[in-house]
Amino acid sequence: MTTSLSLNAITDATAKAVADNPANAVVVFRASGTPEGAVGSAISAGSHTLRVDEPPALGGENTAANPVEHYLAALISCQVVTYRFWAERLGIQVDDLAISAEGDLDVRGFFGLDDTVRPGFQQVRVTVRVTGPESPERYEELQRAVDAHCPVLDISTGTIPVHTTLETA
């Protein structure tokens, strides 16, 4: 797997920018959303619009991935980019990379049928398939680096303060 863009060059430029001004290390990402259809939504993220819906069993029309599928997509896409960055940084050749994820969700938590059941995933399983000429130990080293530095994995496994402000008219 090769890229015309040097990922190490991006890391080096970022390190220099942060060394010159530590405030450059903080990036704020924003998204906003409005209802669409019975249970769907339209999410604006930068110049992009994402559609979100639910399957009919959950009141939707199945016109788009549901929120937890978007989460799995975010986790997978973050893993992909983190594998690519760290493979280049560690000098590990990756010829092919494929990542899949699945999660178990018990809807009793979401619907309030059992408040002892967590409303989110009870477990997520990620499978990474990597091929190339490196030893299994080198790919394990890569996996450890990815697990330590993947932002969406960190969001999933760490505790993040979330502050909600309710504005009423």
Clarify whether residues 73 and 60 are in a common domain. no
pLDDT score at 123: 96
Core vs surface per residue 87-96: b (16+ CB within 10 A) or e: bbeeebebee
For 99-149, what is each residue's pLDDT tens digit?
A: 999 999 999 999 999 999 999 999 999 999 999 999 999 999 999 999 999
Clarify whether residues 26 and 71 are in a common domain. no
Tell whether the model's pLDDT for residue 4 goes beyond 60: no
Is the residue at 166 inside a domain?
no
Tell whether the model's pLDDT for residue 93 goes beyond 90: yes
Reading phi first (left if > 0) and then psi (alpha if -120 to 50, else beta), residue 132 is in: left
| Domain count along the chain | 2
| Total H helices, total E strands in the chain | 5, 5
pLDDT score at 164: 94
CA separation for the pair 100, 127 (Å, rounded): 5
pLDDT score at 11: 83
Mean pLDDT of 77-102: 97
Helices (H), the chain: 7-20, 67-90, 107-110, 136-149, 151-157
Clarify whether residues 58 and 75 are in a common domain. no
- Mean pLDDT computed over every residue of the chain: 93
Total-model pTM: 0.89
